[in-house]
Amino acid sequence: MSSTPPSFDQLRIASFESRRADDAARMIERFGGVPFVSPSMREAPLEADRSVIEFGHRLITGQIDVVILLTGGGTREMVSRIERHIDRQRFLHALADVNTVARGPKPLAALRELGVTPTIVVPEPNTWREVLSTLDQRLSLANLTVAVQEYGMPNVSLIAGLEARGAAVESFRVYRWELPDDLAPLRANVERIAAGEIDVAMFTSGQQAVNLLHVAREMGLEAELRDGLERTVVASVGPSTSEMLQANGLAVDFEPSHPKLGHLVAECAERAHELLRRKRAVAGSLQTRAPAGQAALKSSAQAPSQPAPRWHDSAFMRACRLEPVAHTPIWLMRQAGRYMQEYRDVRKKTSFLELCRNPQLCSEVMCTAVEKLGVDAAIIFSDLLPILEPMGFELEFAGGDGPQIHNPVRQSGDVDRIVELESTESLHYVFEAVAQTRRDLPEHIPLIGFAGAPFTLASYAVEGGGSRSYLHTKTLMYRHEAAWRELLARLSRSIVRYLNAQIAAGAQAVQLFDSWVGCLSPSDYRRYVLPYVRAVIEGVAVGTPVIHFATGNPALLPLMAEAGGRAIGLDWRVNLAEGWRAVGYERAVQGNLDPAVLLADRDAIYEQAREILTAAGGRAGHIFNLGHGVLPQTPVDNVRALVDFVHEASARDLSC
């Protein structure tokens, strides 16, 4: 430890805060820094979510054994919501009678205000790992019902760990994270970082970074912001914040010895100059070989005074936002595929997996399809399964047999060998394909990234290939529920990192494909799938539309909507009007022509397409698509005729 008092010595410090903006500014000034503090998130109560009220009734009737409280604000909001329906003292007495777990000092302080002494206080750094290890030392959870107060989004790792210990877990939500009411300070910090005017960026919550990236994207400055952060010391208050920063593609340079704001400022002041010199030296050495994704973003970035990129007000993006459009936008799943001669010519020279790993060819086949068909959006050319390779699966695309996994998960112990996708570097070719496609597309055409949903990827991983009965998948799910949940938790966290890396590389929207989930009943979907899909969608960069698509079982639509998504993709097994009612008009819908219709004559195609447009009723938020991918036998001219018909039949005058 140096004898010299720690000092920032006039370094410029951007601090991203929620409730303690004034405290952060004072601390930074005390240690010789120049503070630029911006409130970057706020907690918005979920008044419509009744899970907290249901928890209160179950607690007072003796149906809850353990209550885990993760935040102080959430604890106070919990009582505020419950006391409108249940006598306050009756609820607090019931809370005092069960095992209560406070995740660190903030929920501890809130409980003390309420006159409740917690049974267990989780020590620093207060992550979900400390929650589980502390419970292992103090309390057996086997056959107990555990209620978890969520904070902003579900912690699937904590829930999976509790269930692995034999607990029945219920969770309740009291608030969600939103952008601050006044965005001006946050926008100012985006501009400072992008201009190279900040030396240290401090985060006390990972959600602050998510919101920072969202605001930068809206300003057309995300590329510049990320470039600026490569030359800025990124300081995180602790492990949980660091995990979310890294999941959003931000390298963390510093964590304090204790996850507290005071330690963060003081200890960072001591090391900031050394870290800054080192980071800028590394950034300078890499300047000539910047990642392709950043180059793509930079090419489309706009200064705040310039208009937004043309794709922002495209028919597709406007439909995602439920805004009026001049015509119903249309794009097609597998719109670059075997039905096109240009694609078949490429495939004669290369295997499917080699094509997926060639960014230039991926861009070529997709841009050719967009130009030839006249669609309103492109989707990156890739596959659902490459994400599984760096997670430890031996993947092969065998000619005629489809994808094969040679080391599937069959026993509960097999889950232990699955490597969570901590870094997306091994999938660089996917993100380079995103960046290349974004560069090659016309600017007004949005680019969609995608990933397989947790259940569909898990089914591939367990079955080892295609299946009709999903026998192995359901056997693991029913017999070894703890292992199943751990598998889906690892997959869901990996999918979030994968999708956010695609967004960082230049995708404007993402689609989550749950192609196999239709084999489940609604009750099984709610129990075994919904929490993990919700975690993925809530983990996607704020402001990026997510299209949530599944096939095979229209009864799942209300649950899919509950899991989330800006738009819900409908397959052809449901009438579009009925499907839209099922998911709610506050969401866009995508779909839903039967792909086989494109094998018919033009009159039949037009008739079926007109029925779908009629079912949409001209309501804002309809994206025309097939109910699944284009079939290989489809005549290209029929696809182009469909696109033209949808544009013409749905044309409307927005000036009226």
What amino acid positions are annotated as catalytic residues? 334, 338, 347, 383, 460
Distance set, CA 287 to CA 80, 393, 427 (Å)? 53, 34, 21
Distance set, CA 329 to CA 255, 422, 569 (Å)? 46, 36, 14
Backbone phi, psi, residue 181, to 5°: -65, -40
3-state secondary structure of 42: strand
Q: How many CA atoms lie within 13 A of 253 on its CB side?
A: 24
Ranges assigned E (strand) in 24-98: 34-39, 42-45, 66-69
Give the whole-angstrom CA distance, residue 250 versus residue 242: 9
Closest to 123 (Cα-Cα) out of 137, 144, 141, 140: 137
Closest to 130 (Cα-Cα) out of 188, 70, 48, 206: 70
Give the whole-angstrom CA distance, residue 208 versus residue 38: 10
Give the whole-angstrom CA distance, residue 653 versus residue 415: 55
Helix axes 481-505, 471-479, angle to 10 degrees: 120
Q: Which residues of 277-309 are buried (b: 16+ CB within 10 A; e: fewer)?
A: eebbeebeeeeeeebbbbbbbbebbeeeeeeeb
Residue type, 23: D
Q: Which residue has the tokens 């980071």?
A: 279
What does the block give as tokens for 599?
Answer: 């094998």
Residue 144's Cα: distance from chain center in Å? 31
Tabulate helix, strand, coil % of the chain (nearest 5): 50, 15, 35
